[in-house]
Amino acid sequence: MPLFLACSERYCIKGTTDGFYNGEQAYIKVDSGGLWYVIDSCDMLHGCFEMSGEVESPFLTSLFMGDEAIMPVIIECGDIEVELSMRDANVSGTHLNNQLARFIEEKEEYEQLIMDIERYETSLILNGKTAESAAAIVRDSLTAVGDSLNDFIEENIRKHYNTVLGPCL
């Protein structure tokens, strides 16, 4: 009778930072019913950190620096790259993390459009329009971008319903 063993694959997270987090402890944590459990950790030294281990199937985690949650990371087989700075956090290198990064980037573009419309509304008020008339001027644009953002999110959830990304998005 043949014996089949489940074979684990390896993940390796290599992170860099602009030095802001130097000396901090980096953690990969998983949420289980509102409680966070550490699955890996390391020190941030000279702007770099690295964690590795075995993974049987992809799962969602969060990268923490100290007690601060920084970003979601999908633990899956392969080399995962994390870049951190004061203003930005990016993850890439593996299939699902690349898709997660693309989703976040596109979602941020929609959110930036919404902020631009809201700034325009404020400028209208500062230039003498009433709050009601300024709101009326931007209402259609704001609704259109908001609807597009909702469609984008729903489309991605449907597209990734059978992966760990579906619930994450």
The 3-state secondary structure of 88-133, one letter per residue:
CEEEECCHHHHHHHHHHHHHHHHHHHHHHHHHHHHHHHHCCCCHHH
pLDDT of residue 8: 60
More confident residue, 169 or 97: 97
CA gap 94, 29 in Å, rounded: 19
- pTM metric for this prediction: 0.82
Higher pLDDT, residue 155 or 168: 155
pLDDT tens, position by position, 102-146: 999 999 999 999 999 999 999 999 999 999 999 999 999 999 999
Instruction: Provide the β-strand partners of residue 17.
Output: 84
Percentage above 70 pLDDT, the chain: 95
- Report the C-alpha gap between 127 and 116 in whole angstroms: 16
Q: What is the pLDDT of residue 5?
A: 44
Q: What is the pLDDT of residues 65-114, one digit of tens each?
A: 888 999 999 999 999 999 988 888 899 999 999 999 999 999 999 999 99
pLDDT confidence bin for 22, thresholds 50/70/90: confident
Question: Is residue 4 predicted with pLDDT exceeding 80?
Answer: no
The candidate with the shortest Cα–Cα distance to 79, out of 101, 100, 53, is 53
